A = this chain, B = another copy of it.
Amino acid sequence: MPDPRIVIYGPGSTGLAITKMLCDRGVRPVAAIARTGSKTVGKDLGELAGAGRIGVIVSDRADETLAKARADIAVVTISSYLDDTLYGIFEKVVKAKADVVTLAEEMLYPWVTAATLSRKLHELASAHGVTVTGTGHQDGYWVNLVGVLMATGHKVSQVSGALSWNVDDFGKTLAEQQLVGRTKEEFEAWKKSTKRKPTFGAISLYALAATARLTPTGAISTDTQPDLATSRVYCKALGKYVEPGQLLGYTDTDTMKTKEGITLRISSCGKVYVPGESDFNKWVLSGKRADGTNVRLQMLNADLPTAVTTCATLVNRIPDVLEAPAGLVTIDKLPQLGHRPSLAARSSEA
């Protein structure tokens, strides 16, 4: 099979990192789309990505670019939730008969939290014979590693993850979202008043439950706790100091109960790091031995390079998406996530 023809849709931070990885692997994207007014329009995608000129100019004319590109798949790295805007972008790609692989966090398992748009997207993709799939860091670390671990335990009753990411790896928007530099009182007021979208942790619990063939009962509960500075800490994303007592960020803990009696929980901390801290992913499964005594299964991924894992996971999912049946196909329905030396589909699509 020849290399897939790939379009980069949303050449921002992750879209460009994925572009660089694709070029490193010898698979140059064939087109790139940005919105009108973006400073990337008219520039060479390879140059923007630090991969050198590749002769692909970023365009703001989506329909025309998609029509010309004859793409097999579009990498969509624009936003997090399956709202009307993101649906509209997927629709353009689907109508151009290309698959979609996206980092949009809700797309990991949108069936519950965006049920209506999910069904509509599934019908649209099915009708056009293409696949739409969400992946990213969670696919490996919050879902599939945990799913494998769960298969190695007996009478597992609780699955608990704790993980941390650094606000200063990203821009101002995320730092503000994590309430960096706010007071404890401001945090409490926000917590009372906020109508938050489902957390990324909650969405990944739905994907984990589906992967482990569990049936959620009731809604996921989310608890949020502030992480307070004990000394003065500089926040690069905001360009200012966080004072002792102010928020470095906060931790969301999402809990899901299942019909099978297994509780799934994920604690996700996003904050400004103090020296010595780094990204980690840690899971503990509580189960039983055959003799009835308690036993724990543990996994720790220390010093985790989340920026790498996010984009590399998407790249390795490309052949799975190309090979998948048509429709909105979430990761629980894909083959085991794995390393793919070739990005081409092994069989032609149905």
How many subunits of this chain does the assembly comprise?
Answer: 2
Chain B neighbourhood of A56, CB < 8 A: none
Asked, given contacts A148-B148, A152-B141, A300-B299, whether A290 binds B21 with beta carbons under 8 Å apart, the answer is yes
A302 interfacial by beta-carbon distance below 8 Å: yes
Residue ranges of A at the interface with B (Cβ–Cβ < 8 Å):
17, 20-21, 24, 50, 137, 140-141, 144-145, 147-156, 211-214, 260, 287-291, 295-305, 307-309, 311-313, 315-317, 335-342
Most buried by B among A21, A303, A336: A336
> In angstroms, how far is the closest chain B Cβ from the Cβ of A335?
7
Q: Is the CB of B290 within 8 A of A339?
A: no
Q: Which residue of B lies closest to A145 (CB)?
A: B148
The complex places the Cα of A284 from the Cα of B184 at a distance, in Å, of 40
Residues of B within 8 A of A297 (CB): 301, 304-305, 308-309
B303 lies within 8 A of A300 (CB): no
Q: How far is the CA of A274 from the CA of B289 in the complex (A)?
A: 23
* Contact A213–B21 (Cβ < 8 Å): no
Q: Do the beta carbons of B148 and A309 come within 8 Å of each other?
A: no
How far apart sit A339 and B211, CA to CA, in the bound complex (Å)?
8
Contacting residues, chain B, for A155 (C-beta < 8 A): 24
B338 close to A152 (CB less than 8 A): no
Alpha-carbon separation in the docked complex, A153 to B298 (Å): 22
Task: Check if B287 sits within 8 Å of A152, measured CB to CB.
Answer: no
Assess whether B50 is in contact with A291, with CB atoms less than 8 Å apart.
Answer: yes
List, sorted by A's number, 27 A–B pairs whose CB atoms are closer than 8 Å.
A17-B290, A24-B155, A24-B288, A137-B152, A140-B148, A140-B152, A141-B152, A144-B336, A148-B338, A150-B339, A151-B317, A151-B339, A154-B315, A214-B339, A287-B308, A287-B312, A289-B305, A295-B308, A296-B303, A297-B305, A298-B303, A298-B304, A299-B301, A300-B302, A335-B336, A336-B336, A336-B337
Contact of A154 among B24, B317, B338 (CB under 8 A): B24
How many angstroms from the CA of A141 to the CA of B152 in the assembled complex? 9
Nearest-Cβ distance from residue A171 to partner chain B, whole angstroms: 18
Are B337 and A153 closer than 8 Å at their CB atoms?
no
Alpha-carbon gap, A348 to B309, bound state (A)? 38
